[in-house]
Structure 1
Amino acid sequence: MIDLTQLRSFVAVEQAGSFTLAAERLGLGQSTVSQHIQRLETALGRRLLARDTHRVVLTGDGEALLGHARALLSIEGQVQALFSDSSLRGSIRLGVSEDFVTSQLPAVLEDFVRSHPSVDLELTVALSGVLYEMQDNGEIDLVLAKRRLGDVLGRLIYREPLVWLARDPEHVLSSGLLPLIAFPPPSVTRAIALEALGRHQVPWRIVCTCGSLSGLTAAALAGMGVLVQPRSMAPAGLKEIAPEKLPPLEDVEFVLVPRKGADQALVSALSEDILRKVRGLRLGDARG
Protein backbone atom coordinates (compact mmCIF):
# COMPACT_ATOMS: atom_id res chain seq x y z
CA MET A 1 0.00 0.00 0.00
CA ILE A 2 1.37 3.42 -0.96
CA ASP A 3 1.96 5.82 1.93
CA LEU A 4 0.70 9.35 1.23
CA THR A 5 3.30 10.83 3.57
CA GLN A 6 6.01 9.28 1.44
CA LEU A 7 4.34 10.59 -1.71
CA ARG A 8 4.21 14.07 -0.18
CA SER A 9 7.96 13.98 0.43
CA PHE A 10 8.53 12.68 -3.09
CA VAL A 11 6.58 15.56 -4.66
CA ALA A 12 8.30 18.09 -2.39
CA VAL A 13 11.76 16.87 -3.45
CA GLU A 14 10.75 17.06 -7.11
CA GLN A 15 9.54 20.65 -6.65
CA ALA A 16 12.57 21.81 -4.67
CA GLY A 17 15.24 19.77 -6.45
CA SER A 18 16.82 19.19 -3.05
CA PHE A 19 16.25 16.97 -0.01
CA THR A 20 17.28 19.82 2.28
CA LEU A 21 14.81 22.34 0.84
CA ALA A 22 12.03 19.77 0.69
CA ALA A 23 12.57 19.00 4.36
CA GLU A 24 12.43 22.72 5.24
CA ARG A 25 9.14 23.17 3.38
CA LEU A 26 7.59 20.11 5.00
CA GLY A 27 8.88 20.97 8.48
CA LEU A 28 10.75 17.66 8.70
CA GLY A 29 14.35 16.59 9.13
CA GLN A 30 16.35 15.82 6.01
CA SER A 31 16.94 12.27 7.22
CA THR A 32 13.17 11.77 7.56
CA VAL A 33 12.55 12.87 3.98
CA SER A 34 15.36 10.60 2.79
CA GLN A 35 13.77 7.69 4.66
CA HIS A 36 10.40 8.44 3.06
CA ILE A 37 11.96 8.28 -0.41
CA GLN A 38 13.91 5.11 0.38
CA ARG A 39 10.80 3.35 1.70
CA LEU A 40 8.76 4.47 -1.30
CA GLU A 41 11.42 3.18 -3.69
CA THR A 42 11.57 -0.09 -1.77
CA ALA A 43 7.78 -0.49 -1.83
CA LEU A 44 7.66 0.12 -5.59
CA GLY A 45 10.87 -1.69 -6.39
CA ARG A 46 12.05 1.20 -8.57
CA ARG A 47 14.56 4.02 -8.29
CA LEU A 48 12.65 7.30 -8.43
CA LEU A 49 15.27 10.01 -7.95
CA ALA A 50 18.80 10.67 -9.18
CA ARG A 51 21.27 13.52 -8.74
CA ASP A 52 22.69 15.48 -11.67
CA THR A 53 25.32 18.21 -11.48
CA HIS A 54 23.24 20.70 -9.51
CA ARG A 55 20.06 19.13 -8.17
CA VAL A 56 17.98 16.03 -7.54
CA VAL A 57 15.99 14.99 -10.63
CA LEU A 58 13.42 12.35 -11.47
CA THR A 59 14.30 9.07 -13.12
CA GLY A 60 12.00 7.73 -15.83
CA ASP A 61 10.07 5.77 -13.19
CA GLY A 62 9.91 8.90 -11.03
CA GLU A 63 8.36 10.87 -13.88
CA ALA A 64 5.84 8.09 -14.42
CA LEU A 65 4.87 8.23 -10.74
CA LEU A 66 4.71 12.03 -10.40
CA GLY A 67 1.32 12.60 -12.03
CA HIS A 68 -0.30 9.81 -10.03
CA ALA A 69 1.29 11.10 -6.82
CA ARG A 70 -0.12 14.56 -7.39
CA ALA A 71 -3.55 13.12 -8.15
CA LEU A 72 -3.58 11.06 -4.95
CA LEU A 73 -2.49 14.03 -2.83
CA SER A 74 -5.16 16.16 -4.50
CA ILE A 75 -7.83 13.62 -3.58
CA GLU A 76 -6.52 13.59 -0.01
CA GLY A 77 -6.86 17.38 0.13
CA GLN A 78 -10.40 17.22 -1.20
CA VAL A 79 -11.41 14.65 1.42
CA GLN A 80 -9.88 16.69 4.23
CA ALA A 81 -11.62 19.84 3.00
CA LEU A 82 -14.94 18.01 2.80
CA PHE A 83 -14.86 17.25 6.53
CA SER A 84 -13.09 20.38 7.73
CA ASP A 85 -15.12 23.29 9.04
CA SER A 86 -12.10 25.60 8.81
CA SER A 87 -11.26 24.95 5.15
CA LEU A 88 -11.19 27.94 2.83
CA ARG A 89 -14.01 28.33 0.33
CA GLY A 90 -14.83 30.83 -2.36
CA SER A 91 -13.04 32.19 -5.39
CA ILE A 92 -9.99 34.36 -5.94
CA ARG A 93 -8.73 35.98 -9.12
CA LEU A 94 -4.93 35.96 -9.44
CA GLY A 95 -3.05 38.01 -12.02
CA VAL A 96 0.54 37.02 -12.82
CA SER A 97 3.04 38.82 -15.04
CA GLU A 98 3.89 37.08 -18.30
CA ASP A 99 7.58 36.46 -17.58
CA PHE A 100 6.93 34.84 -14.19
CA VAL A 101 4.59 32.19 -15.58
CA THR A 102 6.97 29.97 -17.52
CA SER A 103 9.70 29.96 -14.88
CA GLN A 104 8.15 29.53 -11.44
CA LEU A 105 4.36 29.60 -11.44
CA PRO A 106 3.58 25.84 -11.58
CA ALA A 107 5.54 25.07 -8.43
CA VAL A 108 4.11 28.14 -6.68
CA LEU A 109 0.47 27.24 -7.31
CA GLU A 110 0.51 23.45 -7.13
CA ASP A 111 0.36 23.10 -3.35
CA PHE A 112 -2.23 25.86 -2.92
CA VAL A 113 -4.61 24.23 -5.40
CA ARG A 114 -4.13 20.85 -3.76
CA SER A 115 -4.48 22.17 -0.20
CA HIS A 116 -7.58 24.26 -0.91
CA PRO A 117 -9.78 22.25 -3.28
CA SER A 118 -12.87 24.26 -2.31
CA VAL A 119 -11.28 27.48 -3.60
CA ASP A 120 -11.82 28.39 -7.24
CA LEU A 121 -8.62 29.99 -8.51
CA GLU A 122 -9.00 32.09 -11.67
CA LEU A 123 -5.66 32.90 -13.31
CA THR A 124 -4.96 35.83 -15.64
CA VAL A 125 -1.58 36.20 -17.35
CA ALA A 126 -0.61 39.59 -18.79
CA LEU A 127 1.95 42.38 -18.63
CA SER A 128 2.43 43.95 -15.21
CA GLY A 129 0.95 47.28 -16.30
CA VAL A 130 -2.11 45.59 -17.75
CA LEU A 131 -2.65 43.60 -14.56
CA TYR A 132 -2.55 46.73 -12.43
CA GLU A 133 -5.12 48.37 -14.71
CA MET A 134 -7.38 45.32 -14.46
CA GLN A 135 -7.05 45.37 -10.67
CA ASP A 136 -8.01 49.05 -10.57
CA ASN A 137 -11.14 48.06 -12.51
CA GLY A 138 -11.98 45.40 -9.92
CA GLU A 139 -11.22 42.46 -12.22
CA ILE A 140 -8.33 40.91 -10.21
CA ASP A 141 -8.03 40.25 -6.47
CA LEU A 142 -4.28 39.65 -6.17
CA VAL A 143 -1.48 40.65 -8.56
CA LEU A 144 1.95 39.04 -8.70
CA ALA A 145 4.01 41.30 -10.92
CA LYS A 146 6.97 43.65 -11.27
CA ARG A 147 7.40 47.18 -10.02
CA ARG A 148 10.18 49.69 -10.54
CA LEU A 149 12.63 50.67 -7.82
CA GLY A 150 11.20 53.43 -5.68
CA ASP A 151 7.60 52.33 -6.16
CA VAL A 152 5.82 51.48 -2.91
CA LEU A 153 2.93 49.53 -4.40
CA GLY A 154 2.48 46.05 -2.93
CA ARG A 155 4.41 43.67 -0.70
CA LEU A 156 7.97 42.94 -1.79
CA ILE A 157 8.81 39.31 -2.62
CA TYR A 158 12.31 39.80 -4.01
CA ARG A 159 14.51 42.10 -6.05
CA GLU A 160 16.37 40.99 -9.15
CA PRO A 161 18.67 42.50 -11.79
CA LEU A 162 17.61 42.85 -15.40
CA VAL A 163 20.08 41.67 -18.05
CA TRP A 164 20.57 42.03 -21.80
CA LEU A 165 20.28 38.68 -23.60
CA ALA A 166 20.96 37.46 -27.13
CA ARG A 167 21.66 34.21 -28.97
CA ASP A 168 24.84 35.66 -30.47
CA PRO A 169 25.82 38.86 -28.62
CA GLU A 170 28.71 39.77 -30.91
CA HIS A 171 26.53 39.53 -34.00
CA VAL A 172 23.64 41.65 -32.71
CA LEU A 173 26.00 44.28 -31.32
CA SER A 174 27.79 44.67 -34.65
CA SER A 175 24.85 46.38 -36.38
CA GLY A 176 24.48 50.15 -36.39
CA LEU A 177 21.13 50.23 -34.58
CA LEU A 178 20.65 47.93 -31.62
CA PRO A 179 17.86 45.46 -32.59
CA LEU A 180 15.52 45.26 -29.62
CA ILE A 181 12.96 42.56 -28.83
CA ALA A 182 10.41 43.82 -26.31
CA PHE A 183 6.97 43.55 -24.78
CA PRO A 184 4.55 46.27 -25.96
CA PRO A 185 3.66 49.17 -23.62
CA PRO A 186 2.88 49.23 -20.78
CA SER A 187 5.92 47.10 -19.96
CA VAL A 188 8.29 47.67 -17.05
CA THR A 189 11.25 45.96 -18.72
CA ARG A 190 10.66 47.81 -22.01
CA ALA A 191 10.55 51.19 -20.26
CA ILE A 192 13.73 50.49 -18.29
CA ALA A 193 15.59 49.31 -21.41
CA LEU A 194 14.59 52.31 -23.53
CA GLU A 195 15.45 54.76 -20.75
CA ALA A 196 18.89 53.18 -20.32
CA LEU A 197 19.58 53.34 -24.06
CA GLY A 198 18.38 56.94 -24.18
CA ARG A 199 20.58 58.04 -21.28
CA HIS A 200 23.66 56.60 -22.97
CA GLN A 201 22.61 57.73 -26.47
CA VAL A 202 22.65 54.22 -27.90
CA PRO A 203 20.69 54.09 -31.18
CA TRP A 204 18.08 51.33 -31.31
CA ARG A 205 15.16 49.94 -33.27
CA ILE A 206 12.34 47.59 -32.31
CA VAL A 207 12.51 44.42 -34.42
CA CYS A 208 9.88 42.40 -32.55
CA THR A 209 7.00 43.29 -30.25
CA CYS A 210 4.90 40.58 -28.65
CA GLY A 211 2.78 40.26 -25.51
CA SER A 212 3.90 36.66 -25.00
CA LEU A 213 7.31 35.74 -23.60
CA SER A 214 7.31 32.61 -25.74
CA GLY A 215 7.03 34.81 -28.84
CA LEU A 216 9.82 37.12 -27.69
CA THR A 217 12.00 34.13 -26.84
CA ALA A 218 11.43 32.62 -30.28
CA ALA A 219 12.55 35.87 -31.90
CA ALA A 220 15.64 36.06 -29.71
CA LEU A 221 16.54 32.42 -30.39
CA ALA A 222 16.20 33.15 -34.10
CA GLY A 223 18.95 35.74 -33.68
CA MET A 224 16.73 38.73 -34.42
CA GLY A 225 17.97 40.91 -31.58
CA VAL A 226 18.41 41.64 -27.90
CA LEU A 227 15.91 40.74 -25.16
CA VAL A 228 15.75 42.14 -21.60
CA GLN A 229 14.68 39.80 -18.81
CA PRO A 230 15.23 39.25 -15.08
CA ARG A 231 18.42 37.20 -14.76
CA SER A 232 16.81 34.12 -13.16
CA MET A 233 14.19 34.05 -15.92
CA ALA A 234 16.62 34.10 -18.83
CA PRO A 235 15.36 31.61 -21.44
CA ALA A 236 17.61 28.67 -22.25
CA GLY A 237 19.71 29.21 -25.35
CA LEU A 238 20.30 32.93 -24.79
CA LYS A 239 23.55 34.39 -23.49
CA GLU A 240 23.90 37.30 -21.11
CA ILE A 241 25.66 40.22 -22.75
CA ALA A 242 28.72 41.47 -20.88
CA PRO A 243 27.91 44.54 -18.73
CA GLU A 244 30.43 46.79 -20.49
CA LYS A 245 28.83 46.17 -23.89
CA LEU A 246 25.49 47.87 -23.19
CA PRO A 247 24.17 50.42 -20.65
CA PRO A 248 23.47 49.13 -17.12
CA LEU A 249 19.85 48.32 -16.32
CA GLU A 250 18.16 49.05 -13.01
CA ASP A 251 16.82 46.16 -10.94
CA VAL A 252 13.14 45.28 -10.76
CA GLU A 253 11.13 44.11 -7.77
CA PHE A 254 8.50 41.39 -7.78
CA VAL A 255 5.58 42.20 -5.51
CA LEU A 256 2.18 41.00 -4.37
CA VAL A 257 -0.59 43.58 -4.60
CA PRO A 258 -4.01 42.78 -3.06
CA ARG A 259 -7.19 44.52 -4.14
CA LYS A 260 -9.08 46.48 -1.53
CA GLY A 261 -12.33 44.72 -0.81
CA ALA A 262 -11.09 41.26 -1.82
CA ASP A 263 -11.67 38.28 0.48
CA GLN A 264 -8.87 38.81 3.00
CA ALA A 265 -8.71 35.18 4.14
CA LEU A 266 -8.21 33.94 0.59
CA VAL A 267 -5.78 36.73 -0.32
CA SER A 268 -3.73 36.10 2.82
CA ALA A 269 -3.59 32.32 2.31
CA LEU A 270 -2.53 32.60 -1.33
CA SER A 271 -0.06 35.41 -0.60
CA GLU A 272 1.67 33.48 2.15
CA ASP A 273 1.85 30.37 -0.01
CA ILE A 274 3.38 32.35 -2.88
CA LEU A 275 5.90 34.06 -0.60
CA ARG A 276 6.98 30.78 0.96
CA LYS A 277 7.29 28.95 -2.34
CA VAL A 278 9.05 31.71 -4.31
CA ARG A 279 11.59 32.39 -1.59
CA GLY A 280 12.19 28.66 -1.21
CA LEU A 281 12.76 28.26 -4.94
CA ARG A 282 15.19 31.19 -5.00
CA LEU A 283 17.06 29.80 -2.01
CA GLY A 284 17.38 26.52 -3.84
CA ASP A 285 18.72 28.27 -6.95
CA ALA A 286 21.27 30.17 -4.84
CA ARG A 287 22.51 26.97 -3.21
CA GLY A 288 22.66 25.21 -6.55
Structure 2
Amino acid sequence: MMRNLDLDLIRTFVTVADSGSMTVAANLLHMTQGAVSQQVKRLEDLLGCLLFVRKTRKLELSRQGEQFLVKARQLLRLNDEIWADMTGESLRGSLRVGVPYDLVSSLAPAMKTFAEVHPHVEVSLVCAASPELREAVDTGRVDVSLAEYVASEAEGEVVRIEPLVWVKGRGSDAWQKRPLPLSMVDERCAFRPVVLGALANKDIPWRTVFESGNIEATAATVRAGLAITTWLASTVPADLETLAPHAAGLPALPPFAICLRLPTTVPPAALEFARCVRESMSNILNVGVQPVQRGRVTPNRTGAGSD
Protein backbone atom coordinates (compact mmCIF):
# COMPACT_ATOMS: atom_id res chain seq x y z
CA MET A 1 0.00 0.00 0.00
CA MET A 2 1.39 3.37 -1.04
CA ARG A 3 1.78 6.09 1.58
CA ASN A 4 2.04 9.79 0.76
CA LEU A 5 3.63 12.36 3.03
CA ASP A 6 1.82 15.66 3.57
CA LEU A 7 4.23 18.45 2.61
CA ASP A 8 2.31 20.98 4.69
CA LEU A 9 2.93 18.89 7.79
CA ILE A 10 6.59 18.49 6.87
CA ARG A 11 7.03 22.22 6.30
CA THR A 12 5.51 22.90 9.71
CA PHE A 13 7.81 20.32 11.32
CA VAL A 14 10.92 21.84 9.73
CA THR A 15 9.90 25.34 10.80
CA VAL A 16 9.40 24.20 14.39
CA ALA A 17 12.72 22.31 14.36
CA ASP A 18 14.60 25.31 12.97
CA SER A 19 13.05 27.85 15.34
CA GLY A 20 12.93 25.59 18.39
CA SER A 21 9.54 26.96 19.38
CA MET A 22 5.91 26.28 18.51
CA THR A 23 5.13 29.95 19.12
CA VAL A 24 7.88 31.24 16.83
CA ALA A 25 6.94 28.71 14.13
CA ALA A 26 3.31 29.81 14.36
CA ASN A 27 4.33 33.43 13.76
CA LEU A 28 6.50 32.48 10.79
CA LEU A 29 3.78 30.32 9.26
CA HIS A 30 0.94 32.74 10.05
CA MET A 31 -0.86 30.04 12.03
CA THR A 32 -2.05 29.67 15.59
CA GLN A 33 0.15 27.83 18.05
CA GLY A 34 -2.60 25.26 18.47
CA ALA A 35 -2.71 24.58 14.72
CA VAL A 36 1.08 24.11 14.63
CA SER A 37 0.91 21.69 17.56
CA GLN A 38 -1.87 19.72 15.87
CA GLN A 39 0.07 19.44 12.61
CA VAL A 40 3.16 18.17 14.41
CA LYS A 41 1.00 15.62 16.26
CA ARG A 42 -0.59 14.47 12.98
CA LEU A 43 2.85 13.96 11.45
CA GLU A 44 4.04 12.03 14.51
CA ASP A 45 0.94 9.82 14.31
CA LEU A 46 1.52 9.24 10.59
CA LEU A 47 5.16 8.26 11.10
CA GLY A 48 4.47 6.32 14.29
CA CYS A 49 7.15 8.03 16.38
CA LEU A 50 7.80 11.11 18.50
CA LEU A 51 9.67 13.81 16.58
CA PHE A 52 10.13 16.16 19.54
CA VAL A 53 10.92 15.64 23.19
CA ARG A 54 8.89 18.14 25.16
CA LYS A 55 10.68 19.35 28.28
CA THR A 56 10.01 22.20 30.67
CA ARG A 57 10.56 25.39 28.68
CA LYS A 58 12.33 23.37 25.99
CA LEU A 59 11.44 21.67 22.74
CA GLU A 60 14.13 19.33 21.46
CA LEU A 61 14.29 16.92 18.55
CA SER A 62 14.15 13.25 19.39
CA ARG A 63 16.64 10.89 17.77
CA GLN A 64 14.02 9.99 15.15
CA GLY A 65 13.29 13.70 14.71
CA GLU A 66 16.95 14.47 14.02
CA GLN A 67 17.09 11.71 11.39
CA PHE A 68 13.84 12.81 9.78
CA LEU A 69 14.86 16.49 9.66
CA VAL A 70 17.64 15.79 7.15
CA LYS A 71 15.31 14.03 4.70
CA ALA A 72 12.50 16.52 5.34
CA ARG A 73 14.70 19.43 4.28
CA GLN A 74 15.75 17.57 1.14
CA LEU A 75 12.12 16.82 0.30
CA LEU A 76 11.02 20.44 0.73
CA ARG A 77 13.95 21.73 -1.32
CA LEU A 78 13.13 19.33 -4.17
CA ASN A 79 9.46 20.29 -3.98
CA ASP A 80 10.27 24.00 -4.17
CA GLU A 81 12.72 23.52 -7.04
CA ILE A 82 10.19 21.49 -9.06
CA TRP A 83 7.50 24.09 -8.41
CA ALA A 84 9.75 26.92 -9.56
CA ASP A 85 10.85 25.01 -12.67
CA MET A 86 7.37 23.95 -13.75
CA THR A 87 5.51 27.19 -13.00
CA GLY A 88 8.24 29.57 -14.09
CA GLU A 89 8.04 31.20 -10.67
CA SER A 90 11.35 32.03 -9.09
CA LEU A 91 12.66 34.40 -6.48
CA ARG A 92 13.76 37.76 -7.86
CA GLY A 93 15.02 41.05 -6.56
CA SER A 94 17.81 41.75 -4.10
CA LEU A 95 18.95 40.28 -0.80
CA ARG A 96 21.19 42.08 1.70
CA VAL A 97 23.09 39.65 3.91
CA GLY A 98 24.93 40.76 7.04
CA VAL A 99 27.96 38.73 8.09
CA PRO A 100 30.95 39.20 10.42
CA TYR A 101 34.23 39.23 8.51
CA ASP A 102 35.46 36.02 10.12
CA LEU A 103 32.40 34.10 8.90
CA VAL A 104 32.50 35.11 5.24
CA SER A 105 34.36 31.92 4.25
CA SER A 106 32.06 29.77 6.39
CA LEU A 107 29.07 31.35 4.65
CA ALA A 108 30.42 30.71 1.14
CA PRO A 109 28.82 27.23 0.65
CA ALA A 110 25.38 28.60 1.56
CA MET A 111 25.82 31.56 -0.78
CA LYS A 112 26.87 29.22 -3.61
CA THR A 113 23.85 26.96 -3.10
CA PHE A 114 21.47 29.90 -2.93
CA ALA A 115 22.92 31.51 -6.07
CA GLU A 116 22.61 28.28 -8.06
CA VAL A 117 18.97 27.71 -7.08
CA HIS A 118 17.94 31.38 -7.27
CA PRO A 119 20.03 33.02 -10.01
CA HIS A 120 17.66 35.98 -10.34
CA VAL A 121 18.27 37.23 -6.79
CA GLU A 122 21.09 39.77 -6.47
CA VAL A 123 22.95 39.07 -3.22
CA SER A 124 25.03 41.76 -1.54
CA LEU A 125 27.08 41.36 1.64
CA VAL A 126 27.29 43.83 4.49
CA CYS A 127 30.32 43.01 6.63
CA ALA A 128 30.50 44.44 10.14
CA ALA A 129 30.96 43.52 13.79
CA SER A 130 28.22 41.39 15.32
CA PRO A 131 26.70 44.17 17.48
CA GLU A 132 26.36 46.37 14.40
CA LEU A 133 24.75 43.57 12.41
CA ARG A 134 22.15 42.99 15.12
CA GLU A 135 21.12 46.64 14.79
CA ALA A 136 21.23 46.39 10.98
CA VAL A 137 18.53 43.69 11.04
CA ASP A 138 16.32 45.66 13.41
CA THR A 139 16.62 48.85 11.35
CA GLY A 140 16.10 47.11 7.99
CA ARG A 141 19.58 47.76 6.63
CA VAL A 142 19.98 44.03 5.96
CA ASP A 143 17.38 41.34 5.25
CA VAL A 144 19.09 38.50 7.12
CA SER A 145 22.25 38.31 9.18
CA LEU A 146 24.62 36.05 11.03
CA ALA A 147 25.84 37.29 14.38
CA GLU A 148 28.07 35.91 17.11
CA TYR A 149 27.11 35.78 20.78
CA VAL A 150 28.50 34.24 23.93
CA ALA A 151 26.61 30.93 23.82
CA SER A 152 24.89 31.47 27.16
CA GLU A 153 23.52 34.82 25.91
CA ALA A 154 22.54 33.78 22.38
CA GLU A 155 19.72 35.62 20.64
CA GLY A 156 18.01 34.57 17.43
CA GLU A 157 18.26 31.07 15.97
CA VAL A 158 21.42 29.18 16.94
CA VAL A 159 22.87 27.36 13.93
CA ARG A 160 26.20 26.38 15.46
CA ILE A 161 28.19 26.63 18.70
CA GLU A 162 31.98 26.76 18.68
CA PRO A 163 34.87 27.22 21.10
CA LEU A 164 36.61 30.59 21.06
CA VAL A 165 40.32 29.75 20.97
CA TRP A 166 43.65 31.50 21.41
CA VAL A 167 45.69 31.58 18.19
CA LYS A 168 49.40 32.11 17.55
CA GLY A 169 51.81 31.94 14.64
CA ARG A 170 53.86 28.79 14.10
CA GLY A 171 56.94 28.90 16.30
CA SER A 172 55.83 32.17 17.90
CA ASP A 173 56.41 32.84 21.60
CA ALA A 174 54.27 35.98 21.66
CA TRP A 175 51.90 34.31 24.13
CA GLN A 176 54.69 34.28 26.75
CA LYS A 177 55.30 38.03 26.65
CA ARG A 178 53.94 40.55 29.14
CA PRO A 179 52.16 42.75 28.51
CA LEU A 180 50.48 40.18 26.28
CA PRO A 181 50.55 41.45 22.67
CA LEU A 182 47.06 41.21 21.16
CA SER A 183 45.95 41.74 17.59
CA MET A 184 42.36 42.96 17.70
CA VAL A 185 40.11 44.36 15.05
CA ASP A 186 38.23 47.09 16.90
CA GLU A 187 36.30 47.88 20.06
CA ARG A 188 32.91 46.94 18.58
CA CYS A 189 33.62 43.23 18.12
CA ALA A 190 31.77 40.60 20.15
CA PHE A 191 34.97 38.83 21.20
CA ARG A 192 36.82 41.84 22.62
CA PRO A 193 34.99 42.40 25.95
CA VAL A 194 35.04 38.65 26.65
CA VAL A 195 38.76 38.34 25.96
CA LEU A 196 39.76 41.46 27.89
CA GLY A 197 37.51 40.50 30.80
CA ALA A 198 39.10 37.04 30.96
CA LEU A 199 42.59 38.55 30.98
CA ALA A 200 41.61 41.03 33.69
CA ASN A 201 40.28 38.20 35.87
CA LYS A 202 43.70 36.54 35.71
CA ASP A 203 45.59 39.84 36.17
CA ILE A 204 47.35 39.43 32.82
CA PRO A 205 48.43 42.80 31.39
CA TRP A 206 47.97 43.28 27.64
CA ARG A 207 48.70 45.73 24.86
CA THR A 208 47.23 46.22 21.41
CA VAL A 209 49.58 45.55 18.52
CA PHE A 210 47.09 46.15 15.74
CA GLU A 211 43.49 47.32 15.31
CA SER A 212 41.76 47.43 11.96
CA GLY A 213 38.68 46.20 10.11
CA ASN A 214 40.83 43.98 7.91
CA ILE A 215 40.93 40.39 9.12
CA GLU A 216 43.78 39.49 6.74
CA ALA A 217 45.93 42.24 8.24
CA THR A 218 45.12 40.92 11.71
CA ALA A 219 46.16 37.43 10.61
CA ALA A 220 49.39 38.82 9.16
CA THR A 221 50.49 40.20 12.55
CA VAL A 222 49.84 36.80 14.12
CA ARG A 223 51.72 34.98 11.36
CA ALA A 224 54.66 37.34 11.88
CA GLY A 225 54.79 36.43 15.57
CA LEU A 226 54.01 39.97 16.67
CA ALA A 227 50.85 39.08 18.57
CA ILE A 228 48.25 36.45 19.39
CA THR A 229 44.53 36.67 18.73
CA THR A 230 41.28 34.76 19.27
CA TRP A 231 39.06 33.13 16.65
CA LEU A 232 36.27 30.62 16.48
CA ALA A 233 37.79 27.16 16.16
CA SER A 234 36.51 26.48 12.63
CA THR A 235 37.86 29.78 11.29
CA VAL A 236 41.51 29.35 12.34
CA PRO A 237 43.72 29.32 9.21
CA ALA A 238 45.61 26.06 8.63
CA ASP A 239 49.02 27.75 8.94
CA LEU A 240 48.31 29.08 12.45
CA GLU A 241 48.16 27.20 15.76
CA THR A 242 45.75 27.16 18.68
CA LEU A 243 46.95 27.44 22.26
CA ALA A 244 45.70 25.27 25.11
CA PRO A 245 44.77 27.91 27.71
CA HIS A 246 45.96 26.10 30.83
CA ALA A 247 49.26 25.02 29.30
CA ALA A 248 49.92 28.55 28.07
CA GLY A 249 48.86 30.24 31.29
CA LEU A 250 45.99 31.99 29.52
CA PRO A 251 42.37 32.13 30.65
CA ALA A 252 39.82 29.72 29.20
CA LEU A 253 37.29 31.42 26.94
CA PRO A 254 33.54 30.69 26.70
CA PRO A 255 32.00 29.09 23.59
CA PHE A 256 30.27 31.35 21.10
CA ALA A 257 27.03 30.77 19.22
CA ILE A 258 26.60 31.64 15.54
CA CYS A 259 23.02 32.85 15.21
CA LEU A 260 20.66 33.71 12.39
CA ARG A 261 18.91 37.05 12.79
CA LEU A 262 15.73 37.72 10.81
CA PRO A 263 13.42 40.74 10.88
CA THR A 264 9.84 40.56 12.12
CA THR A 265 8.56 40.49 8.52
CA VAL A 266 10.84 38.14 6.62
CA PRO A 267 11.23 38.55 2.82
CA PRO A 268 10.85 35.25 0.88
CA ALA A 269 14.45 35.41 -0.34
CA ALA A 270 15.68 35.83 3.25
CA LEU A 271 13.70 32.77 4.35
CA GLU A 272 15.22 30.69 1.57
CA PHE A 273 18.71 32.00 2.28
CA ALA A 274 18.28 31.18 5.98
CA ARG A 275 17.37 27.61 5.02
CA CYS A 276 20.56 27.31 2.96
CA VAL A 277 22.58 28.60 5.92
CA ARG A 278 21.04 26.06 8.30
CA GLU A 279 21.76 23.15 5.97
CA SER A 280 25.31 24.30 5.26
CA MET A 281 26.56 25.47 8.64
CA SER A 282 24.84 22.88 10.82
CA ASN A 283 26.78 20.18 8.97
CA ILE A 284 29.85 21.18 10.98
CA LEU A 285 29.50 19.46 14.34
CA ASN A 286 29.57 21.49 17.55
CA VAL A 287 32.70 20.56 19.46
CA GLY A 288 33.16 20.46 23.22
CA VAL A 289 30.15 22.57 24.13
CA GLN A 290 26.65 21.97 25.39
CA PRO A 291 23.81 22.75 22.98
CA VAL A 292 21.73 25.89 23.41
CA GLN A 293 18.01 25.78 22.75
CA ARG A 294 17.21 27.18 19.38
CA GLY A 295 14.90 30.14 19.26
CA ARG A 296 14.20 33.38 17.47
CA VAL A 297 13.98 36.67 19.28
CA THR A 298 11.67 39.18 17.66
CA PRO A 299 13.38 42.10 17.45
CA ASN A 300 32.04 47.04 8.20
CA ARG A 301 34.84 44.94 11.10
CA THR A 302 35.72 41.99 13.59
CA GLY A 303 36.82 40.74 17.10
CA ALA A 304 39.82 40.04 19.27
CA GLY A 305 40.70 38.52 16.19
CA SER A 306 37.80 38.61 13.98
CA ASP A 307 34.13 39.02 14.53
Q: 228, 235, 238: which one pairs with 2:237? A: 235
Q: How does 1:29-40 map to 2 (within 5 A)?
A: none
TM-score (norm 1): 0.66
| Paired letter, 2:109 | A
| Paired letter, 2:100 | S
Which residue is equivalent to 1:19? none
SS at match of 2:187: coil
Compare relative contact order (CA 8 Å, sep 6+) and give the higher one, 1 or 2.
2
**RMSD between aligned alpha carbons?**
3.0
Q: How does 1:1-288 map to 2 (within 5 A)?
A: 84-102=87-105, 104-168=106-170, 171-244=173-246, 245=248, 246-263=250-267, 265-280=268-283, 282-283=284-285
| Distance change >3 Å, CA 214–CA 161, structure 1 → 2 | same
Going by fraction, where is helix more abundant, 1 or 2? 1
CA–CA distance in structure 2, aligned partners of residues 113 and 254 of structure 1: 22
Contact 1:178 1:202 in 2 (8 A): yes
TM-score (norm 2): 0.62
CA–CA distance in structure 2, aligned partners of residues 89 and 204 of structure 1: 50
Contact 1:81 1:118 in 2 (8 A): no
Identity, % of aligned positions: 28
SS at match of 2:87: coil
Q: Which runs of 5+ in 1 are unaligned?
A: 1-22, 29-77
Question: Between Structure 1 and Structure 2, how many residues are aligned?
Answer: 213
Offset from partner CA, 1:224-275 (integer Å, 9 cap, x none): 1111001111122211112212100011000000022341x22221111110
SS at match of 1:150: helix
| Distance change >3 Å, CA 192–CA 262, structure 1 → 2 | same
CA–CA distance in structure 2, aligned partners of residues 142 and 26 of structure 1: 20
SS at match of 2:282: helix
Contact 1:81 1:117 in 2 (8 A): no
**Farther off after superposition, 153-162 or 183-192:** 183-192
Contact 1:181 1:207 in 2 (8 A): yes
CA–CA distance in structure 1, aligned partners of residues 110 and 287 of structure 2: 15
Q: Which runs of 5+ in 2 are unaligned?
A: 1-69, 76-80, 289-307
Offset from partner CA, 1:148-198 (integer Å, 9 cap, x none): 233242100011001101115762133221000112021111121111101
| Distance change >3 Å, CA 285–CA 106, structure 1 → 2 | farther
Contact 1:81 1:116 in 2 (8 A): no
SS at match of 2:254: coil
